[in-house]
Amino acid sequence: MVFKKLILVFLGPPASGKGTQAEILGKDLGIPVISMGELLRHEYNHHTKMGREIEKYLKKGELVPDNIIQKILLKRLKKEDVKRGFILDGFPRRIEQIVYLEKIKQKFLSPFDFLVVFYIRISDREAKVRVVNRRVCECGAAYHLKYNPPKKKGICDICGKKIYRRQDDDPKIVNKRLKDFHHRIKPILNYFADKNVLIEINGEQRIEKVQKEIKNKLNKFLNFV
């Protein structure tokens, strides 16, 4: 499907499934997924100095400061596997982060390559239900207690570790997270829409159907430009 180098960006409200969709597409295209949330949780789970700083923001459901985000992303982008393109999950999340994304684009892409942005749309009502039922594992696996529970209660199917609720999935802060999200995402979506690189996806469908819509729309986009 891909003949050019791609940077794909996945944006969407909490629990919109952007991480899941990015992983499926990344495997299919043979390019790595760089999940900002995962990179931050990795620091936090390994109790690094930066991880302790990050914890303060994750606990409150707030965005982590840009200097930390840039440091972590820069380190990840030094790895060899990004040379053929990559997927960014959850970045940019603040309008200021677009400046950094443009720098990344200049460094990695030639004028013949593409940056494409997917926005996975789900309603706030759906996001709240999903957040409350979401459980994750340190290995990156994610579960929904009703629709996609682990085979053994409380245990990850993939690595056998205990699954847990993310700190920022606390039902008490989900409304605030959603409000902040909408406030911040608007100018970001406008920016990409103006550049004609924004593709909207209906996230309220079965996982396979969402993926099909993503692939169809990406193919169409690449054939048109």
CB 90 within 8 A of CB 11: yes
> Is residue 57 near ligand AMP by the rule CB under 6 A?
yes
| 16 closest CA partner among 177, 163, 225 | 177
Binding part of the chain for ligand AMP, among 22-30, 34-42, 190-198, 215-223 by CB under 6 A, reads 34-42
Query: Catalytic amino acids?
Result: 18, 93, 134, 166, 177
> Is residue 14 near ligand AMP by the rule CB under 6 A?
yes
Binding part of the chain for ligand AMP, among 62-70, 101-109, 196-204, 213-221 by CB under 6 A, reads 62-70
Cα dist. 35→175, 195, 209 in Å? 23, 23, 22
Residues 141-180, mask of contacts with ligand AMP (x by CB under 6 A):
---------------------------x------------
The residue from 13, 17, 26, 90 that contacts ligand AMP (CB under 6 A) is 90
| 97 closest CA partner among 31, 195, 5, 9 | 9
Closest separation between CB of residue 175 and ligand AMP, Å? 14
Closest separation between CB of residue 106 and ligand AMP, Å? 19
Across the chain, the runs of DSSP E, i.e. the strands, are 6-11, 33-35, 85-89, 114-121, 134-136, 142-144, 198-202
82 SS3 class: helix
Closest separation between CB of residue 33 and ligand AMP, Å? 11
Closest separation between CB of residue 111 and ligand AMP, Å? 26
Whichever of 184 and 222 has its CB closer to ligand AMP, that residue is 184
| 93 closest CA partner among 12, 33, 167, 22 | 12
87 SS3 class: strand
Q: Which residues contact 22 (CB under 8 A, 6 or more apart)?
A: 8, 10, 33, 35, 87, 89
The residue from 44, 91, 114, 119 that contacts ligand AMP (CB under 6 A) is 91
CB 144 within 8 A of CB 133: yes
> Is residue 58 near ligand AMP by the rule CB under 6 A?
yes
Lookup: tokens for 195: 């550049």
Q: Which residues bind ligand AMP (CB under 6 A)?
A: 14, 36-37, 40, 57-58, 61-64, 69, 90-91, 93, 97, 168
